[in-house]
Each structure stands twice: as C-alpha cells, then as structure tokens.
Amino acid sequence: MTDVTVAGFESHRSYLTRLAYRMLGSLSDAEDVVQDAWLRWHDSAPAALANPRAWLGRVVTRLCLDLMKSARRRRENYVGAWLPEPLIEEIGATAGGDEAVDVPYVLQLALERLSPLERAAFLLHDVFDLPFSEIADTLGRSEAACRQLVSRARRHAREEVPRHPLSAEEARRYAVAFFEASHSTDPTALKSLLAQDAVLHGDGGGKANSVLNPIFGSEKIGRFFAGLARKPEWPGLAPRCEPVLINGMPGYISRERDTEQAVVLDIREGQIHAIYVIRNPDKLGHVRARLAATTC
C-alpha cells in the first residue's frame, strides 16, 4: 500500500471516528471500528473508488450497526445507568472541518432511545449532511424509507437540543461554580444553581461508586452532594478539576477520591436542569492524562 493511499485514509479518520462515536456512544469502540475499516480499505482497491469518503462512511456505518446489536445485549446486564463516553474539548477552542461536527451530550443520550437504523439515518443526514440517495445506499433502504427514519428520529431527538448555547465565559463560570458548590457541606449555594426539578444521573458501571438510580429535585441533589462533602478526601488526594466542554456542553473533569470523573451540566434559562456524572473508569482513559496538575 502506497503512502498516498495511507494518506487518503488518514484524511478521513477524524470524520469516521466521529461518525462511529455518535453511533456507538463509545470512543474506544469507535476507534476499533475505524481500525477495522482501515483493514478493509487496505484489502480493497482505493485508487479505483470514485468517492472514498462515501465508501468508508458506508463501511463504518454498517460495522457500527452490527456492533450495536451486541452492545444492546451487553447493556442489559450493565450495573446502574449507562451514559455515553464523554468527548472532551477545550472551552473556547475553535475547531474546523470534521472537528466542528458536534452533538450535545443530551442529544447523544436521546440517540440511545432510537433504533439503530433511525440513529444511523438521523446522524448521516442531520449531523453529517449526507443526501438521502447516499444514505439509502448505505443502509440498503429506499430513499422514502430513509426520509421516514429521519422524520421519526427528529421527533425524539431534536427536542433534546439546548436552545441557547453558552459562551465560553459562561460555560467556564457555571462549571467552576458547580464544582465549588458541590464540594460544600452547605447545600444552599448548590441549590441556587439548580432548577427545582433538576435530575442527577450517574454511571459507575459497577466499577466505581456512583448513584444507581437518578436523584430528582434540587433539594435531594443538594443534600446528596453536601453529604459527600462531609466525607474526608483520601490522604494526599485533594480534588483536582479542569473546566471543559463535554460533547459541546459545559462541565468539568476531576479527580474525586477513588477515581476520575467527568461531569456534564445541562443548563437552560440560567439554571442547571440535569447533571450527568460519568465515573466508570473504562470510559475515562483519555481523561486521566489531562488531570496531572490541573486545578480549578
């Protein structure tokens, strides 16, 4: 295989990885799928392809659809709630090309409720802007059927998108304010940040301490974090955090007692309506390297 052929694949790697991640909700699984696509590309005749990006997109989509069948079976035995693996980005960073393609964390969660075909059609059309003719070829369905898939998916997914994205300054301010308030033994400050009907979701995967069921209401969430704050940190392990964007939404990554974690904040109309805390260490491998010496 020539250097030109290798470069041809690498020029599409970012697009393929993001497509696979949006389909699967797991960055490690997405990277495995892209590697499998690379092997198929290696065994094909890339120079003869009229549209290499479309060919690779079809391969990755079909690999993801196959993997989603087994993933759904695995999640039936998952301990507690399953949350997508967090995709970490710098607050205020400007991305271009494929890196600018973004799906907010709440929308990534909504995608989990779609059928695999609905999810694929929605992502390919509404996120990656592919024409229905290409989607039909990828999914092996008619264009009319693909239009119906996208229409059904939109009804479930689009209502979850935050209406007013925050500025970089606001995102950082909310992340720091929540981190500080959630580490106070007085729940007053935290409750002032939360909507009255706020909900807390946690994902420890049975491998890290986490809430197994959602906690509803600002009062209960405030008491929960105040109780955690009363427990001493492990010796020599003070909390460390870095405000970041997680799937385009404000939050932070931090080191908390027994493990690292990623916290996503769903902020609407000046209040936090939902908190997602990912503590399963299997989903935080790329987080650990960022926390070496970062403090709020």
Domain range for residue 13?
1-77
| CATH code for position 115 | 1.10.10
**Other Cβ atoms closer than 10 A to 261:** 27
Question: What's the Cα-to-Cα distance from 185 to each of 181, 231, 235, rounded to whole Å?
Answer: 9, 9, 19
User: Is there a single domain that holds both residue 207 and residue 256?
Assistant: yes
User: Is there a single domain that holds both residue 189 and residue 279?
Assistant: yes
Q: At what angle do helices 3-24 and 27-43 cross, to 10 degrees?
A: 140
Question: What's the Cα-to-Cα distance from 279 to each of 82, 85, 211, 212, rounded to whole Å?
Answer: 11, 10, 10, 12
User: Is there a single domain that holds both residue 182 and residue 127?
Assistant: no
96 domain-assigned: no
232 domain-assigned: yes
227 domain-assigned: yes
User: Is there a single domain that holds both residue 155 and residue 176?
Assistant: no
88 domain-assigned: no
| CATH code for position 201 | 3.10.450.50
DSSP string, 177-194: HHHHHHT-S-THHHHHHE
User: Is there a single domain that holds both residue 235 and residue 286?
Assistant: yes
| Residue 226: both structure tokens together | 């105040």
Please report, in tens digits, the pLDDT of each residue of the chain (296 residues total). Answer: 555 567 788 889 999 999 999 999 998 899 999 999 999 888 777 777 778 889 999 999 999 999 988 777 677 788 888 999 998 888 877 655 555 445 788 888 888 888 999 999 999 999 889 999 999 999 999 999 999 999 999 887 766 665 567 889 999 999 999 999 999 999 999 999 999 999 999 999 999 999 999 999 999 999 999 999 988 765 555 567 899 999 889 999 998 776 899 999 999 989 999 999 999 999 998 888 788 756 55
Which among 254, 249, 223 is positioned nearest to 107, based on CA atoms?
Answer: 249
Q: Which of 146, 161, 176 is the last residue of a domain?
A: 161
User: Is there a single domain that holds both residue 197 and residue 150?
Assistant: no
User: Is there a single domain that holds both residue 177 and residue 270?
Assistant: yes
Instruction: Give the angle 163-92-177 at the CA atoms, nearest 5°.
Output: 70
Residue 99's contacts (CB-CB under 8 Å, 6 or more residues apart) are: 14
Q: How many domains does the chain have?
A: 3
pTM: 0.86
pLDDT in tens, 127-174: 889 999 999 999 999 999 999 999 999 887 766 665 567 889 999 999
82 domain-assigned: no
